[in-house]
């Protein structure tokens, strides 16, 4: 079929794009019902100075805001997840780790089950710096960390679409994106420099026109995988 083409590999892009789009539409499903919400929260030990937020979910909507929470509370959330123990807290020294886990994510693998998408509407504390680690599939949402310090971001998975709002970094900060068919829209203040590098196959980066001319603490984004898109914009 591709024997007469001078560049056979380019002919494969069209069916791959169609397959990825149809796969996403097929598995996305309807939005969760608002009547199924449950309240959960994560409380850290006294003396915690930093913390990590981990999410291991599939077919989920994640929406997050930073705000003022009671002393010791790291996260408050409303969720449609019905899994016992889907929110766990572990402490080690002066650091805490808060883990969100979906019943569609077991033993590090994705189990895409029928039914409605899960939803997590979260508020996190604005008093402690945090690190964000996402391991997701067919997930989307808006993550707004504009008013708190984020020390790093690691995101791996496939078929995800996230908008990430960050404030001015206090030091050079790494953001790692790994996987396939992901879109990450990074929103930062206008005077914040962002440097982007990529490895893999057809990873697209949309940069701001004046991004290369800015100086100071920098967000360093690295995209590794295939068919990922990173969009950088200011507000």
Local confidence pLDDT in tens for the 235 residues of the chain: 444 555 555 556 666 666 666 665 555 555 544 457 888 899 988 888 999 999 998 888 999 999 999 988 999 998 886 654 478 888 888 899 999 887 655 544 444 445 577 889 999 999 999 999 999 999 999 999 999 999 999 999 999 999 999 999 999 999 999 999 999 999 999 889 999 998 888 888 888 776 666 788 999 999 999 999 999 999 8
Q: What is the pLDDT of residues 36-60, one digit of tens each?
A: 788 889 998 888 899 999 999 888 8
Share of the chain above pLDDT 70, in %: 75
* pTM (predicted TM-score): 0.80
CA 52 distance to own-chain centroid? 13
């Amino acid at each position: 079929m591709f024997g007469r083409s001078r560049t056979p590999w380019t002919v494969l892009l069209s069916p791959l794009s169609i397959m990825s789009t149809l796969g996403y539409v097929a598995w996305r499903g309807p939005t969760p019902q608002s009547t199924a919400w449950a309240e959960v929260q994560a409380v850290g030990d006294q003396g915690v100075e930093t913390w990590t937020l981990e999410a291991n979910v599939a077919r989920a909507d994640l929406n997050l805001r930073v705000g003022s929470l009671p002393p010791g509370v790291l996260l408050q959330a409303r969720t449609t997840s019905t899994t016992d123990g889907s929110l766990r807290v572990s402490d080690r020294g002066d650091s805490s780790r808060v883990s969100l886990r979906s019943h569609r994510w077991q033993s590090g693998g994705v189990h895409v089950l029928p039914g409605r998408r899960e939803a997590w509407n979260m508020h996190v504390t604005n008093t402690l710096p945090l690190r964000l680690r996402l391991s997701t599939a067919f997930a989307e949402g808006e993550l707004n960390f504009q008013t708190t310090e984020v020390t790093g971001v690691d995101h791996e998975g496939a078929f995800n679409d996230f908008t990430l709002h960050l404030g001015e970094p206090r030091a050079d900060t790494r953001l790692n994106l790994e996987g396939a068919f992901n879109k990450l829209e990074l929103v930062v203040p206008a005077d914040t420099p962002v440097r982007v590098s990529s490895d893999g196959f057809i990873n697209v980066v949309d940069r701001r026109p004046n991004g290369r001319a800015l100086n100071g603490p920098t967000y360093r984004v690295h995209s590794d995988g295939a068919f990922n898109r990173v969009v950088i914009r200011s507000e």
